[in-house]
Structure formats: C-alpha cells, structure tokens
C-alpha cells in the first residue's frame, strides 16, 4: 500500500512516499500486566476471548491502510483505537499514528477477522524515531469521539504504559530494526468509559518536549449489514 507522509525534523520538512506490503498489529502490548488484564476484561465484557499470548501479533492485509478522511464499515458495531505506527524508510525508523479500527461484533467470534475486516486509518505526518527516542515514554496518545453531538475524550495515556516499539519489532521480526516495506501498530491505551462505537474518531500523538503533535480525524460511512 502506498502511503505519503510529511516528515518534520530540525526545522525542515519533506514529503516521503512509502510502500507498505507487510502490516502487523501488535495487540496486548502494555508494559503493566495489571493494565493488560484490565483491557482483557474490558474486551471480555464484549465477549472477546482471552489472547493466546501477550503480546500477540496480528498480520493484517496491507491494503487496509488508508489515509482518507472517510472509511466505510459494515454495520454500526465498529470503533477506533489510537496507536503509534512505526515503519522504515531509506534506512531510518519513522513514527506516525494509526487507528486499529475493529469490528466489535465480529471480535467476539475472531479477533483476527475483526481487525482484518476494517480499514486502518493512518495520519499524514511522521517524525523521525531518533527525534523522540530519548523521551519516548513522555509521548502521549489521545483520542476523541463524537457522542450525543459532543466531542468526548475517549483515550489518553503516556507511551510509558506500553511496550517499547523496538521491543515489539524484536519480538515479531527477530531483529532490532523495522524491515523496509513493513509497518506496525504498537498497542493502545484503555478507553475512558468503555469501548463503544462512534461516527467520528479523532486521534493525536503528542510530544510534550517539543510541543507538537501528529493528528488525524476520520468519519465512518456505515454500510448496511444484510443477510
């Protein structure tokens, strides 16, 4: 899948084109075992079975990646999750933002299928990993949903609560660096008030040291679920 990113570093900005042919969604990627258990219980309320391993790596079709402002979903039971998105380009590791949008109704049957069914929205901006590696744990993931006509904070937490992305890369690929043409989402933080669908999802990866953020917003076009 061809993606385009605006990369800002040291006052300069450039646009890069990246071809992603391998997409991995890292699930159950928290550092705190209690937090992982909380998320497992949160999903168990929706009928989702416990994972077979922690973390767990889901292979998703790369053509599900999308930088569009609108994604189409079947039925009204899907929801987003803000996650760091890492990839390599020209020998450098880059950091962006993605949503592991998931069909919650199907999730109780198969987590892998529920993730595969939905597009994975990706932001149009990226940072060099080297620019944030020294204060990685201070970066903050946030998301908002539209609910009853209002914008509501849906997720918020520091990356200190999640496994380090290079540990996830090592765990799946068996090497320290992200391979070219591969992308990985790196886990999420708990939903405030519980996981639930919404027609609009906004997300941000915020760097408090540099006072900058990567943002993306997308809306859902709900297609009829027919039998």
State the DSSP H helix or E strand holding residue 83, giving kind and residue range, or none if neither.
strand 82-89
State the DSSP H helix or E strand holding residue 96, giving kind and residue range, or none if neither.
strand 92-99
Q: What is the mean pLDDT of residues 197-207?
A: 98
Q: What is the mean pLDDT of residues 155-165?
A: 96
Q: What region, left, alpha or beta, does residue 149 occupy, with left being phi > 0 and alpha being psi -120 to 50 degrees?
A: left
pLDDT of amino acid 86 = 98
* SS3 readout for 157-215: EEHHHECCHHHHHHHHHCCCCCCCCEEEECCCCCECCCCCCCCEEEEEEEECCCCEEEE
Question: In this predicted model, what pLDDT tens digit does every residue of 24-78 receive, in sequence order?
Answer: 999 889 888 787 787 788 778 877 788 888 899 999 999 999 999 999 999 999 9
Which residues make Cβ contacts (< 8 Å) with residue 20, sequence separation at least 6?
1, 2, 3, 62, 65, 87, 181, 182, 183
Tokens of residue 118, six digits:
């939905």
Q: What is the mean pLDDT of residues 105-116?
A: 89
Q: What is the mean pLDDT of residues 184-188?
A: 96
Question: In this predicted model, what pLDDT tens digit does every residue of 122-136 receive, in sequence order?
Answer: 999 999 999 999 999
Under the banding of pLDDT at 50, 70 and 90, the label for residue 153 is: very high
pLDDT at 183 over 90: yes
For the chain, list the domains and their CATH numbers: 2-222 (3.90.850.10)
pLDDT of amino acid 107 = 86
Whole-Å CA distances, 39 to 47, 169, 217: 13, 22, 24
Measured torsion, CA atoms of residues 208, 209, 210, 214, in degrees rounded to the nearest 10:
-40
């Amino acid at each position: 899948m061809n993606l385009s990113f605006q990369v800002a570093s040291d006052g300069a900005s450039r646009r890069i084109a990246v071809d992603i042919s391998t997409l991995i969604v890292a699930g159950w990627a928290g550092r705190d075992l209690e937090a992982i258990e909380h998320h497992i219980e949160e999903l168990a309320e929706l009928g989702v079975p416990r994972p077979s391993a922690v973390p767990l790596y889901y292979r998703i079709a790369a053509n599900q990646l999308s930088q569009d402002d609108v994604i189409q979903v079947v039925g009204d039971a899907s929801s987003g999750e803000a996650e760091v998105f890492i990839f390599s380009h020209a020998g450098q590791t880059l950091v962006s933002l993605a949503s592991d949008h998931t069909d919650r109704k199907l999730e109780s049957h198969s987590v892998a299928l529920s993730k595969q069914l939905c597009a994975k929205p990706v932001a149009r901006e990226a940072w060099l990993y080297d620019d944030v590696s020294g204060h990685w744990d201070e970066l903050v993931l946030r998301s908002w949903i539209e609910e009853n006509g209002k914008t509501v904070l849906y997720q918020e937490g520091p990356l200190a609560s999640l496994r380090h992305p290079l540990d996830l890369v090592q765990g799946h690929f068996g090497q320290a660096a992200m391979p070219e043409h591969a992308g990985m989402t790196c886990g999420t933080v708990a939903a405030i008030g519980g996981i639930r669908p919404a027609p609009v999802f906004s997300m941000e990866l915020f760097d408090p040291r540099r006072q900058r953020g990567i943002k993306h917003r997308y809306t859902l076009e709900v297609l009829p679920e027919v039998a």
